[in-house]
């Protein structure tokens, strides 16, 4: 019925971990994005969303995040082929001091640490990324 996509919002030293999606990507190629990906079918499973966020962050940019994540928001959208997607964003905390890098060049063109303002003003930042950053920022303020 739906594809389920999850994204990890990581905030460190006043900046967000953001990628430029590979131009090879069918959806939103060349645009800025949080790191994330599609949930794989596993049958009966626990914490599948959180484990998918961890897997995608490690596969795409080589970072590990803590098991504890904070739900930020969910949205839906339709792909060019008509498939419907549910997207879920989690606020994540880095497990260690490893630096993010392009680990999967088929999916990631570039890795950035950007302030909220830099994301908002960036010409390649789609509205859904801006909205996710604003929602994650609001969660951080409540948490503080």
The pLDDT score that the predictor gives to residue 97 is 80
pLDDT, tens digit, 9 for 90 and up, residues 91-124: 999 998 889 999 999 999 999 999 999 999 999 9
Residue identified by tokens 């929602």 is: 135
Q: Is the predicted pLDDT of residue 143 greater than 80, yes or no?
A: no
The pLDDT score that the predictor gives to residue 89 is 98
Q: Where are the domains of the chain?
A: 3-143
> The tokens of 22 are what?
């590979």
What does the H/E/C string look like for 83-128?
CEEEEEEEEECECCCCCCCCCCCCCEEEEEEECHHHHHHCCCCCHH
CATH number for the segment(s) 3-143: 3.90.79.10
- What is the maximal distance between C-alpha atoms in the chain? 42
Burial class of residue 104 in the structure, from the number of CB atoms within 10 Å of its CB (0-12 exposed, 13-18 middle, 19+ buried): middle
Q: Where are the beta strands (DSSP E) in 13-69?
A: 15-21, 32-33, 35-38
pLDDT, tens digit, 9 for 90 and up, residues 11-39: 999 999 999 998 877 677 789 999 999 99
> The tokens of 34 are what?
């949080």
Please give the helix or strand (H or E) that residue 133 lies within, else none: helix 127-143
> The tokens of 111 are what?
């890795």
CA separation for the pair 128, 28 (Å, rounded): 11
Torsion angle defined by CA atoms of residues 78, 22, 101 and 69, in that order, rounded to the nearest 10 degrees:
0
pLDDT, tens digit, 9 for 90 and up, residues 42-92: 889 899 999 999 999 999 999 999 999 999 999 999 988 889 999 999 999
């Amino acid at each position: 019925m739906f594809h389920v996509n999850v994204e990890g919002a990581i905030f460190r030293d006043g900046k967000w971990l953001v990628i430029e999606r590979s131009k090879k990507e069918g959806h939103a190629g060349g645009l800025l994005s949080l790191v994330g990906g599609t949930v794989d079918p596993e049958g009966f499973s626990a914490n599948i969303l959180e484990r998918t966020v961890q897997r995608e962050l490690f596969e795409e940019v080589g970072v590990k995040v803590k098991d504890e994540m904070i739900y930020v928001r969910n949205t839906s959208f339709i792909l060019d082929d008509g498939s419907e997607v549910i997207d879920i964003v989690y606020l994540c905390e880095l497990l260690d001091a490893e630096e993010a890098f392009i680990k999967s060049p088929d999916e990631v063109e570039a890795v950035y640490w950007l302030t909220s303002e830099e994301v908002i003003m960036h010409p390649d930042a789609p509205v859904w990324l801006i909205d996710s950053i604003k929602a994650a920022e609001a969660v951080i303020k409540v948490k503080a």
